[in-house]
Amino acid sequence: MEQDKFVINIGRQLGSGGKAVGEALGRRLGVHVYDKQLINLAAEQSGLCTELFEQADEKKSRSLFSSLIGYLRMPFASEEGSVTDVLSSEALFKIQSDVIRDIASRESCIFVGRCADYILRDHPRAVNVFVTGAPEDRVRRLCEQENVTPEEAEAQMERTDARRASYYDYFSSGKWGEAATYHLCIDSSVLGIEGTADFIREFAERKLKMNLSGR
């Protein structure tokens, strides 16, 4: 039913297993999980090449578009109603935001990252979660997944989390990773991936006052 559609938006630290938590939660709830698939969907909808969205993925750089195809500008109306040239980060964020809103209007689902919690801030049945993890667990997970050294994993964590925070803080009215921005912040190191997914499901059911099991 239309009124039963819900969304769960998951922000995450690199190496926390946030994507894996989202996938485990999606299996429990029988809903799609959208992460990097949004890049292809946004490219299809806009007619722009996928590489543009990949280069801009969770980055706030305002000069990216110019550096890739400097001759191309995308017009959008300003607050005063005039048409202005907007650099790629603004244009691509708008396109991806439209894709996220369209998906959320059609189905219950889970979004991982991409400021989805802010984009869907007016959704009546949204649950916003941030997944973190103990530093040693995050390093171990990255070493296993990316085949890197602990030192490289730590550097990657610092770099990626700073980029995600900059992107989120730039495009939203909240602060990335701060408790006040979300309905729930959870450390995946405490319960593990599966246990964290179970906890989020129970939390979402209580917040939404809905039975989400077996959907």
Q: What does the pLDDT profile of the chain (215 residues) look like in tens digits? A: 456 899 999 999 999 999 999 999 999 999 999 998 887 887 788 777 777 777 766 666 544 444 444 434 444 444 443 333 344 678 888 889 999 999 999 999 999 999 999 999 999 999 999 999 999 999 999 999 999 999 999 999 999 999 999 999 999 999 999 999 999 999 999 999 999 999 999 999 999 999 986 55
Hey, what domains does the chain have and what are their CATH numbers? 2-208 (3.40.50.300)
Report DSSP state, residue 182.
S
Which strands, in side-by-side order, build the sheet including 32-34? Answer: 32-34, 109-112, 7-12, 126-132, 184-187
Task: With H, G, I as helix, E, B as strand and everything else as coil, classify residue 97.
Answer: helix
Q: How would you classify the pairing of strands 83-86 and 74-77? A: antiparallel
DSSP per position, 16-46: TTHHHHHHHHHHHHT-EEESTHHHHHHHHHH
Q: Hey, what amino acid is at 153?
A: A
For residue 140, give every residue at least 6 positions away whose Cβ sits within 8 Å of its Cβ, in sequence order, or none.
none
Q: What is the pTM of this model?
A: 0.83
Task: With H, G, I as helix, E, B as strand and everything else as coil, classify residue 128.
Answer: strand
The beta-strand segments (E) located in 28-165 are 32-34, 74-77, 83-86, 109-112, 126-132
Cα distance between residue 117 and residue 101, in whole Å: 11
187, containing H or E segment: strand 184-187
185, containing H or E segment: strand 184-187
What confidence tens digit (pLDDT) does each residue in 175-196 have?
999 999 999 999 999 999 999 9
